[in-house]
Each structure stands twice: as structure tokens, then as C-alpha cells.
Structure 1
């Protein structure tokens, strides 16, 4: 079986050299020095993963990623942004463009190899799961020809277990809602809260904050509707209030979506907590070891 293929897109030759050298023992690599070249190369070959610089002449990494996600032939390829910056805004813009992960320059070799391996395996697992469930999905979709909305919920169920961060989960929720024709904001009760679809100082953000601990699951306010399930709060800004049938149907769909997202959010939070606990434990061990060294020296 041939080694997985990683495409490296970066305008700096020295950066491409570093990445290709780190990967060469386990992966096939190809290189593109600009976004336009990468898009052209994708018409001939499909890599298993793309390492994509953000700041490049011509097409930025964001533009390239959006182009990849718009193309049905390439939208499933994992994309890891490689950037010298690591701001929340840059990460948010990256995830909105369709990125799967980030690496910060200067590159840590171990982190690079771990992320590349993880995302390639996740992509393979996703393809295998889709293949195995195709027959069952065909039967289900035949029974749901009258409801494309429910089909979007099912697709979300298929993909939700591959989501690893609260921001990715928020983006997926908003994607499903947008396919329903809805303008949505999402808050996930992390520390600090994960917010998408509005600014943290906006009226929408304050409204969702108010409902983080509310008892009611669904609150109707005309065209605005709040749906809460566990750590997930959704604000729909344009519910079809004048269409009673569609309004009720969408509310039911969104309640199911919120419940599914809530279960995954709880898992993500638990995984994050375990990770933090492991880090704390390691720090304690290191501190104890250093103390013992000082005593014996």
C-alpha cells in the first residue's frame, strides 16, 4: 500500500523544505509555491492531506481552503493551516474557511507528525464509515424524500463524532441551520464560552448568555427563537413565524440538532478536562522531580 500523500503549499522554499524533510520518512509529498498552483495540481491528483500556508502572494490560504471546500471532488481533503500567527481571530477565520486544524511556525516536528497522522486516519475512518452506512442511508433517504431537512440532521449525526473542538461543533451547527435557510448564532458553554455568529458584546450574545442556565429548552420570541440543550445554546434570528407548519417542523428539527450537539459538546468538554488534568499531573511530577534533584545535588 503506497504511503499517504501530503501536499505542502507555501511560498517560502525553506518552509517547504522543512516540512517535506519532517514528513519524508512516512509520507509522499508534493509542493506548490502559491495557491493558484495548488488548485491546478488538485485537478490532477488528490492528496490525503494539505498543509497550507495562510499568508501568500495572490490567493491567500483562506481563499485556497474555501475553493477546496466548494469543489465536491476536493471538499473532503483534510486541510491544516500553517501560520506564524496564532490569534483567536485567525483561527476562527480559518475554521470558517473550512480548516481542520492549525500548526504554528516554527514547526514542532512531533506535533506536525501527530496532527498529520490523526487527520489522515480520521479522513480514512470517515470514508469507511460512509461506505459501510451507504446502503442503510439509501433506504433511510428513500423514506424521507419529503424532508430534505431531516436528511441534514442525519448527515450531522454521521459526522458529529469526528468533531474535536467546540468551535468546529459550532460551525457544523450553523452549517446545518443555514441549509434550513436560517440565520443562527451559537454559544457553547466552555471556559471561556465558545461563540459563533455574533460578536461577544452584541445583543445576541447577551441574550444567549441569559439562557445558558435557563430551565426552558425552547423560548419563542417571534422571529427569534432560543433553543438550549445542556451546554449548547442556539439563537435563530429568522424563524418563519408566519408559516405555522414550517415553523413547528424546523423547531422540532433544531431541538434534535441541539440534543445531538449537546451530547458531543459534553464529550469534548470531558476530553478537554482530562487533557488538562493530564498536563497538571505531568507538571506536578516534573516539579517533584526537580525538587528531588535539588535536594540530592
Structure 2
């Protein structure tokens, strides 16, 4: 049986790209906002959450890290992605419970290896 994955990013191109590489192994759900992600997390069981740090183009917005906390409270592995080269984001993501932090643009080979590693522990 396929596992279920939630991808959260306010840029649809990123969610579609990740879905393309993961749909063979996961049932995929996508959310483009914090609010939509929370609704999906409340109403579905996920095996993996992948979220961007910032979901809106506002200064200091880190709604993705709140999603990580929700995932961790439900014992769901989480991968955080970010287009901002900010070590502070990486440290904060890991401290909130993220299993991995990956910078955009995503190295797909590295990303797939990380997902496979997480999948083996599910």
C-alpha cells in the first residue's frame, strides 16, 4: 500500500515538481497555504510532510515551521525546504523537529535519497 505525503509550498511549480518525483511511491496531497495544510493535517493521516519555511512573501513569515511542529506532534517525519540561504532557518527547522532541511533549488538525487531513507523507517 502506498504511503501518504503532504507537500506544502506557496509556489505551485515546486509542489508539482516534487509530486512528479514522489507520486510513484506516495499518494500525494498538496497545500499552498498554512491554513490549507492545517486542514489537511487535521483530516488525514500522513506518513511524510514536506514544507517550505515561508509560505507568503512577508518579512519573517515562517508558517512552514508551525507545520513542522504539527507534524511532529502527530509523529510524522518532516522535511523543510527553503529558497532562502539562511542558516538560522535550518537551525530553527531542526530545533522544531524537522528531520531534514534542504535548500532550493533542490538537488533531486539528494532529495530522493533523503525520502528513501525516511521511508525505510516508516
Could you list the per-position Cα deviations for residues 147-167 of structure 1 after superposition, in whole angstroms to 9, with x for gaps in the alignment? xxxxxxxxxxxxxxxxxxxxx
Within 5 Å, give how 1:83-102 maps onto structure 2: 83-102=82-101
TM-score (norm 2): 0.86
What SS does the corresponding residue of 2:88 show, helix, strand or coil? helix
Contact 1:80 1:101 in 2 (8 A): yes
| Structure number with higher strand proportion | 2
Aligned to 2:109: 110
Structure 1: gaps of 5 or more residues: 125-297
CA distance in 2, matches of 1:43, 1:67: 9
CA distance in 2, matches of 1:11, 1:99: 19
| Cα offset, 1:59, TM superposition | 6.2
Higher-Rg structure is 1
CA distance in 2, matches of 1:28, 1:68: 17
Aligned to 1:31: 30
Q: 1:67 aligns with which of 64, 70, 79?
A: 70
Taking a change above 3 Å as real, the CA distance of residues 103 and 59 of structure 1, as seen in their structure-2 partners, is: closer
Taking a change above 3 Å as real, the CA distance of residues 20 and 99 of structure 1, as seen in their structure-2 partners, is: same
CA distance in 2, matches of 1:23, 1:79: 15
What SS does the corresponding residue of 1:47 show, helix, strand or coil? coil
- Does residue 1:81 correspond to 2:80, yes or no? yes
Contact 2:49 2:71 in 1 (8 A): no
Contact 2:6 2:31 in 1 (8 A): yes
CA distance in 1, matches of 2:104, 2:71: 23
4+ residue stretches of structure 1 with deviation over 3 A?
Answer: none
Aligned to 2:18: 19
RMSD of aligned C-alpha atoms?
1.7
What SS does the corresponding residue of 1:82 show, helix, strand or coil? strand
Aligned to 2:43: 44
Q: Tell me which of the two structures has the higher relative contact order, counting C-alpha pairs closer than 8 angstroms and 6 or more residues apart.
A: 2
Contact 2:49 2:76 in 1 (8 A): yes
Contact 1:10 1:53 in 2 (8 A): yes
Could you list the per-position Cα deviations for residues 193-240 of structure 1 after superposition, in whole angstroms to 9, with x for gaps in the alignment? xxxxxxxxxxxxxxxxxxxxxxxxxxxxxxxxxxxxxxxxxxxxxxxx
CA distance in 1, matches of 2:99, 2:18: 18
| Structure number with higher helix proportion | 1
Within 5 Å, give how 1:169-180 maps onto structure 2: none
Within 5 Å, give how 1:1-297 maps onto structure 2: 2-57=1-56, 60-69=63-72, 71=73, 74=74, 76-122=75-121, 124=122
Contact 2:94 2:101 in 1 (8 A): no
CA distance in 2, matches of 1:82, 1:48: 17
